[in-house]
Every structure is written in structure tokens, then in C-alpha cells.
Amino acid sequence: MVLQYLTEAVFTVLSPLNLLVLTLAVGSGLIMGMLPGLSATMAIALLTGLTYNFPTQTALISLLGVYVGSISGGCQSAILLNIPGTPASAATAMDGFPMAKKGDGGHAIFIATTASMLGTLLSVIFVLTLTPFLTSMALKFASWEFFLLSIFGIMICGALTSAGNALKGWISGILGLLVAMIGLDTVDTFARFSFGNVNLMSNIQLIPVMIGLFGFPEIVRAFKKENEGSPIKVSKFQPKRGFRSVFHNWLAIIRSSLIGVMVGIIPGVGEDTGGWLSYWASKSQSKNPESFGEGNELGVISAEAGNNACIGGALIPVLSLAVPGSAPAAVLLAAFLMHGYRPGPLLMTESPSFIYSVSIYIIAASLAMWLLAMIIARGTVRILGIKKKLLMPIIFLLCVIGSYLINYNRFDVKVMFVFGLIGLALSSADFPAAPFLLGVILGPMADSNLRRGLRLSDGSFLPMFQRPICIFFLIIIIGMIFTQLGVFSKLKKARS
Amino acid sequence: MDSKQKDFTISLVLVALGIYTTIEGIRIYIKASKAPYNIDSFAISPGLLPTILGALLLILSLVLMTKSLKNGNFLIRIKQLLTWAREAVFDSDIRMMVGGMVIMGIYAFLLIGLIPYYLSSAVYLASLMLFLRASSFLKTILVAIITIALVILLFQTGFNVSLP
């Protein structure tokens, strides 16, 4: 029966109309993912309305195609301009942009795209096989676990991205968390740090902050006299070398994909966290961790395999529990409902072929994504050949549009500019921007879950030290603090 | 500016921010304990996390400041900061960066919404490129017009989204 469902799905996707729709959807997703501000969530949301009158299977193919395309497309702008097209690609910029600056932008895009494809394909295996098991594990996450997960994520990111000075990374993370406190809180709708401003009350939007922190400093630095008349080195595009790199790092791809799937399954934790955790895992396993952040291709491969594997991971709770694992998956859930499917515990009874069709469509979308991204990349790598002083004012124009399009609100453009100034100040003082961004992303989750947990325990912190998953996180967090402060090395010295 | 001086300068701002956030967190707790919220317990108050974060920021910033003062006391660092600020006024790189940011700021805060998008963006692009001496006058104007036309075509026609 399963084989029949899979074969039917293969034939459906191979029909000329569906192949055309798949190509168009993946291509649009890639372009939207590349442009900062046009997120994966927005790409799916925009397409959902357009697919209303499509035949159901065609609509599913286009929605999944645009999802895969937009998550993968973000890496190109992250690598070439240090402006992640989507938050999912923020970790990719860490090593991708230094690679591009060295003239290896084409190679970086190649390995990132290939890792994205492999991450997506591996995640599909989990959609098909491990759905029931992993769903039951994700259900064990309650308020305290979510709170500690967010703190753990920010601390890891702070330690990873601060080039040996974790203090700066953690300060950056705290600043991000503080920004997330602005506006009405999610538990009691109490207005914090909003000074009576309606725009601030509705919280600071993530995308303008991201564009400001990452894009603005690069734009402004290009105005320096030293950049006068010097176009950035045109990057190379070498498929053979790319395949070799991917092949040599097969273990990192599998590890990152596993992490991505696990992260994707946990509701509320998105592709961005998947990318960061995979990056951290590869850095901590590496014999040469200091090369990360300087243009290490393993960093690019891990981040991209990790964030794309979240696609399959995020779909697992959507299909089995009707609980989305990430923001784009939430929009996808709404689209599934609009097209007559009812994801949840009854899905396998009501629409037994659905999960197999979805899996095949994701596989087709990831293959199409790879092909299209390679075609597009041959053009995009030439962007670096344009004179910086001519290119950067245009990039700022796109940053303005990206910030505005989130809510069609001019206030977000101002937010982008202000956070750009903050980003410039932070980067001048060697503070990493990534923990700041992760703080903004995970802040609402940390705040609401901490207070929800405390409410359930009558204000007691004790449950945090009694739950097994919490104890696991606490041990890692404390271990990380001790490692960064050099406690273990001091103890070793004292012993010897 | 050397890295210790940078750390000192930014830690000054962060200490101030840490103090403000801690106080504001406590103020939020006091406000939330009154009607209509009536949240008496600090543990479940919306002021809990801001207070914790403010205190943490203050502690970590003080650690950073202490580290930055290893090769000089507080007053020496302040004097160095003032000297740097005086010199920065005449630095050509800083002038270019500040000038560029002013043009970008005028576009983001004033021009958008005041005049039609295509006009404000063309004025911004042309003036910033001319300020940076990116290319000849004619080429700059041409690049500005072509860019705006492509942006409108891609976003308004292609993606069917409205621009500011």
C-alpha cells in the first residue's frame, strides 16, 4: 500500500503541469528567500492565496516547493553580502561571508546549496519513519524545558561567535533578550519599555532587526576611502571542488541533519535555531575550531544542512499533531486546512496517502531547488564584482523594502536604521551580532515559558531542577560557563 | 582606538543600560501589582525577566569594564576617549561613513512617505552615490533610474506587493 502511495505521488509530481508549477514555485521561493525581508513565512502566505483555485495536489506541490526554495535561497545573500535572506541563514553568514571575501563565494554557495538539498532529503526519511517516536519525545517539552532551551541556544551562540571572548557574546545575547521584552508581554499583555508608543507596543519585528544588525554595518563600512574604486574580488564557481568538499564532510551533514530534524520537531523553535545548533556541534567537534568564523566551509555546510533539515522536522508535528514546528510550518498548516486536509492524529485514517505525497513532493522540491539555485548562483556570484560604492546604496534600498514589507509599516524602516546603528557600534567593538538576533528570536519563548512555569509551581524554581530534560540542559549550560571561564583548565593546572 | 579602549567605551553605555533596565524592571513589577493587573508575586510579574536581564547586563558590563581598566585607570580611559573623539572629527573615513549615514537616515526617516516612493528612492540613490563619488554624474543618474524601475517591476508587478 505504501509503495502504491509513493508511486502515485511520483507520477503526480512528474506530470508536465506539476513540474512547471514546481519549477516556478521553487524559483520564486529561492528569489524571495534571497531578498531580506521576504521570509519563508511570507512566501508561503503569499502563495497560499494564489493556490486557492489550484487542483489540490498541484497546490501542495507549489506550497512545499516555495517552502524549500525560500529556506534554501537565504544562503546566497548571507554568503555574498553578509545579509541573511531569512533568519534561517544567519549561521551560514558566519563562515560564508568570510569565504566570499576571500574570493570563494561561488564555492560557498555551491556547498551551501548542496548541503541544503541533502539536509532536506535526509529530513524526509525522518518524516516517513520516525514521526511517531519523535513526536512523543517532543511532547515531553513543557515550559521549563522551553525556557532552558532558549537560554541554552543563546549561550551557545554567544560562546561560538565571540572569537574567544564569550563575555561579549553573552552580553550581546542579553541585549537581544531585552529587545524582545519591548511591547505587550504574551502572558498578561502588560506594555513594557514602549513609552506609550503604539508601534513599540506591538513588539519589535524580527526582520528589521536582522537586516539592521547584519546588513547596515557592511553597507556603512563600504563608504570608507580604502574601498574607493576597488570592486570586491569576483568569486569562483567550482562544482568539482564543491562535490569533493561535501563528500569529505558527509558525517557533518548527517549530524547536522539529525540536529535539524530534532529542532524542527520541537514546536516554536525554528530553522534559525537548527542552523545555529548544527554549526555549534560541528565547531565543537572540529580539530580546528578557531578557523570557524574565518571562512571554514564546514561551518557553511553544517548550518545549511541543519536549517534545511528543519523543514522535514517541522512538518512532523504538523502532520501528526497539527502543531507547527516553525512559523513557515504554521502557515503551511493553514494552507493544508484550506485545501481540505486535516492534519493531526486522524490524518492517517482520513487521508492515508497524504504523508507519502508530502514526502515525495519535498524530495522533488529539494532536487529542483538544487538545480535552480545552481543556475541562479552563476549570476548572483557576479554581484561581488560590482564596485562596492555603487552596490551598497542599492543594497540599502532593498533593506528598506525588506523592513517595510513585514507589516507595510514605515516604523519598521526606522527600526531597521536604529538597529543598524546598534549593529555598527557592536561590531566596531567586536561584539557578535548573532547572539543578539537569537535573543530577539527566543526572548518571547524564554519569557512566556519561564513565567508560565513559575505560575504552575506557585513561584517556585524547584521544578527546573527536578525534570530530567531540564537537568540535562542545566548541566550543559553550567559546563559551558565553566569551560568559557577557564575553570576546567585552571583545575587541570592546579592538579599538575 | 585600541580594543581595551573600545571595551571601556561600550561598557560605559552598557552599565548605564543595565542600571536603567533593572530599575525599569522593578517599576514594571510595581505597576503590575496595581489594578487592573493585580500581580502581587514578583515571580510571575512581567517585570521578572527584565529585572534579571538588567542585573545580568550590569554585572557582565562591570566585568568587561574592569578587564578594560587593566592597563589604565578610569580617568585615563576617559581622557583617551575624549582625545579620540576630537581626532575622529577630522578622520576622512569617519566623515564619509557619517555623511553616508546622514543621507540614509534622511531617506529612512523623512523622504519615505513624504514624496512618492519612486522619487524619494531615486533622489536617495543618486545623492548617496554622488556623495560617495561612486561613478560619473550621468552614470549615477542612469543607475538610480534603472534600479528604481527594476525594483518596482520586481516587487509591485512580480510579487504584487505595495512599496512604501
Residue by residue, DSSP assigns A181-226 as: TSEE-TTT--EES-TT-HHHHT---HHHHHHHHHHHHHHHHTTSGG
Give B60→chain A minimum CA distance, Å. Answer: 7
ipTM of the complex as predicted: 0.93
CB A387 within 8 A of CB A45: no
The reported pLDDT for the residue numbered A35 is: 72
User: What is the rounded CA–CA span in Å between residue A298 and residue A89?
Assistant: 15
The residue of B8, B10, B17, B124 whose CB has the most chain A CBs within 10 angstroms, and thus the best one to mutate to test that interface, is B10
**For residue B24, what is the nearest residue in chain A, using CA coordinates?**
A193
pLDDT band at A353 (very low <50, low <70, confident <90, very high): confident
Give A459→chain B minimum CA distance, Å. Answer: 5
User: What is the rounded CA–CA span in Å between residue A32 and residue A240?
Assistant: 28
Q: What percentage of chain A has pLDDT greater than the value 70?
A: 88
First and final CA of chain B: distance in angstroms? 39
| CA distances from residue B95 to A282, B88, B102, B121 in whole angstroms, order as listed | 41, 8, 10, 23
Residue A409 with chain B: CB contacts under 8 Å: none
Tens digits of per-residue pLDDT, B68-116? 888 777 788 888 888 888 888 888 888 899 999 999 999 999 999 889 9
Give A267→chain B minimum CA distance, Å. Answer: 22
Residue range B35-44: average pLDDT?
87
The reported pLDDT for the residue numbered A46 is: 63
The reported pLDDT for the residue numbered B98 is: 93
The reported pLDDT for the residue numbered B58 is: 96
Show Cβ contacts of residue A396 under 8 Å, excluding neighbours closer than 6 positions: A215, A216, A219, B104, B128
User: What is the rounded CA–CA span in Å between residue B150 and residue B144?
Assistant: 10
Backbone angles phi, psi at A83, to 5 degrees: -120, 100
pLDDT band at A381 (very low <50, low <70, confident <90, very high): low
Tens digits of per-residue pLDDT, A160-197? 677 678 899 899 999 999 999 999 988 888 999 999 89
Q: How many Cβ atoms are within 10 Å of A322's Cβ, its own excluded?
A: 16
User: What is the rounded CA–CA span in Å between residue A20 and residue B12?
Assistant: 58
Put simply, whether B116 touches A (Cβ < 8 Å) is no
In this complex, the residue of B6, B21, B109 whose CB is nearest that of residue A178 is B21
User: What is the rounded CA–CA span in Å between residue A230 and residue A385?
Assistant: 9
Task: Give the closest residue to A262 by CA, choosing from A320, A322, A316.
Answer: A316
Tens digits of per-residue pLDDT, A275-308? 888 988 888 888 888 888 888 888 899 999 998 8
C-alpha cell at B139: 552614470
